[in-house]
Chains A and B, each alone.
Chain A
Amino acid sequence: MRVRSFLRDTVTVFSREFAPVPREPLGLLFTMGQPLLFLFLFGPLLGGTRSFEGDGSPWQWFVPGILIMMCLSGPMMAGYSLLVELIGGSMERMLVTPLNRTAMLVGRTMKEFVILLAQAVLIIALAVPLGFRPHLPGVLAGLVILTVFGIGLGALSFTLAIASAPSGNLFYGVTQLVLFPLMLLSGVLLPMDFGPAWLQVVATVNPVTHIVDAERALFAGRFADLSVLYGTLWACVVAAVGLAMGTRAMRRGI
């Protein structure tokens, strides 16, 4: 009975969060702005460099990285809408209802997951005419890791939003200061081995690097690659930590 009411509460929260999305499909494109920009304006520049992955086109190497970039910019900012509701009165209003607190987090995270998946499929579809050849089983496996990572990032973003209410300064500070370095140090734009040794060392400490490497390996069909294992582990760690911290923050009340 409690499981059923938890699921029902999750669906209630998900439906609420998701309902405005189909009404404003252009909004989805806006949040994809940065990855799309890099896809179309930066990606073609790679054609002038040597190919990084054997005989494949540079797109095979580039597209997985762009998907991770989208993961960093999309779900990471999901907490913003929660922050607005925390500062206003709607979160308080929902907290006085019998809604399960954990369901409030999971429902919101599920919405981010659905959007992320739709956007990923869109990017892959847009990259095909440019020269990207999707390897279907690999892409599917890659999408799984992507969404697990995205769920974790979304949950972390919500945790951050809760921690930074009511002023919100912590939220902006962390997201702005953390996002870009994480992205640049994970080799999404150019291979890290183009760079000096010290940069490569820093990159190996960055969890996102391993997830990016895993994505590239999977999209190329190399399931047995060691990077796939590391990337999967890191994605799961991020998801577990994010969900744990998020539910704890939600339960402790706001």
Chain B
Amino acid sequence: MIHARGLTRRFKVGKGFVDAVRGLDIDVEEGQLVAFLGPNGAGKSTSLRMLTSLLPPTSGTATVAGRDVVSDPAGVRARIGYVGQKNGSGENFRVRDELVTQARCYGLRRSEANRRADEVLGLLDLESLATRKPGTLSGGQRRRLDIALGLIHRPALLFLDEPSTGLDPQSRANIWEHILRLRELHGTTLFLTTHYLEEADTMAERVVIIDHGRIIADGTADRLKGDLAGDRVTVTVHDESQAARAAEVAARIAGSDAVTVAERTVRLRVSHAGAALPEYLRSLDASGVKVATAETSRPTLDDVFLALTGRSLRESDESPQSGPQDA
């Protein structure tokens, strides 16, 4: 569905350049649900805009839905759906009218466009809002409308740029319910960008992590967490003097890593805490260390990001340069 090689985008900013995307290589097959995760300013939106033909790449190639984005952008546009970062509906046009217009943009005849508009209003619980103006809707309702606009022509591939950003948790969950249900109905390939790691973690089958314009990780959430970060084991001892010994024992465990000591607490990483913890506790017992508490935690994608870049995803939100112009 999506095949990109060496996709690059450079912006001219002031007297210099900003390389927003540097040599992106990615392959997405039909039916996949891929989340493009990264801090603000990582190049997610720019990559998406190149793949949807909104922005020409500075270099590199990309084939989307079987068409080349550079030589046949119109072909790409006819085959994909797009939900942008901002609301796609015009303030002063009625909800249903915008849907009908959108269907006609894709070449559907009036009668068919009307049918699809009603169908999609039903699918996304927008029926009662059909004659309202988007400017009067709530954030969650407007976002559902944006998704309706993106799906009305039943594309095989749908791009979503930060679909749930700015929504309250309830609206966010609601949006996802709709997206996943529609995917079940039509087998749509979904490619979305997000900087919410919980969203990428729980919703996506495949997570592609991007930082400073480059892909730094690609795989299922579980595999990334297992390979790169590992589980965390945290043990506290009764006596501070025993903490050092506990740390020694930890270091001797096969596959342990990043052992740290802080007063009475010892932390370490292992690939499978469920198996490592009983072994560790037994070894501590054998060494005469008295354990007060023990707990394990599964890693998050933030841990993965931290392991790869040395920065936390939450802290590394860089604001993009203001007003980049085409190079």
Contacts and interface: CB of A to CB of B under 8 A. Distances in A.
Contacts of A8: 104, 107
B93 A16 contact: yes
Contact-residue bracket for chain A: 20 to 34
A200 interface: no
Contacts of A5: 107
A19 B93 contact: yes
A253 B326 CA distance: 11
A15 B87 contact: no
Contacts of A98: 74, 77-78, 105-107
A89 B90 CA distance: 8
A90 B97 contact: no
A92 B105 contact: no
A19 B93 CA distance: 8
Given A12-B101, A98-B107, A88 B93 contact: no
A20 B135 CA distance: 14
Contact of B105 (A85, A97, A166, A253): A97
B88 interface: yes
A94 B88 CA distance: 8
A240 interface: no
Nearest to A100: B74
Nearest to A24: B92
B225 to A, nearest CB: 34
| Size bracket of the B interface | 20 to 34
A93 B89 CA distance: 8
B82 A93 contact: yes
A93 B88 contact: yes
A96 B86 contact: no
Given A16-B90, A98-B106, 15 more contacts: A5-B107, A12-B105, A19-B97, A20-B93, A85-B90, A88-B91, A93-B82, A94-B105, A96-B54, A96-B77, A97-B77, A97-B106, A98-B105, A98-B107, A166-B323
A98 B79 CA distance: 9
Interface string A67-111: 000000000000000001100111011111111000000000000
B84 interface: yes
B85 interface: yes
B87 A96 contact: no
A84 B93 CA distance: 13
B88 A92 contact: yes
A95 B54 contact: yes
B84 A92 contact: yes
Interface string B18-56: 000000000000000000000000000000000011110
A88 B104 contact: no
A85 B88 CA distance: 9
- Which of B54, B88, B90, B101 lies at the interface centre, i.e. has the most chain A CB atoms within 10 A of its CB? B90
Nearest to A167: B323
B160 interface: no
A67 B80 CA distance: 46
A99 B149 CA distance: 14
Nearest to A16: B101
Contacts of B106: 97-98
Contacts of B86: 88-89, 92
25 contacts: A8-B107, A9-B105, A12-B101, A16-B93, A16-B101, A19-B93, A19-B97, A88-B86, A88-B87, A88-B90, A88-B91, A89-B84, A89-B86, A89-B88, A90-B89, A90-B90, A93-B82, A93-B89, A93-B102, A96-B53, A96-B77, A97-B102, A97-B106, A98-B107, A253-B54
Interface string B84-121: 11111111111001100110111100000000000000
B88 A90 contact: yes
Contact of B101 (A15, A166, A253): A15
Contact of B85 (A12, A89, A95): A89
Contacts of A12: 101, 104-105
Nearest to A17: B93
Interface in B51-88: 52-55, 74, 77-78, 80, 82, 84-88
Given A20-B93, A84-B91, A96 B80 contact: yes
6 A-B pairs closest in CB distance: A89-B86, A93-B88, A97-B105, A96-B82, A90-B90, A16-B101
A238 B54 CA distance: 30
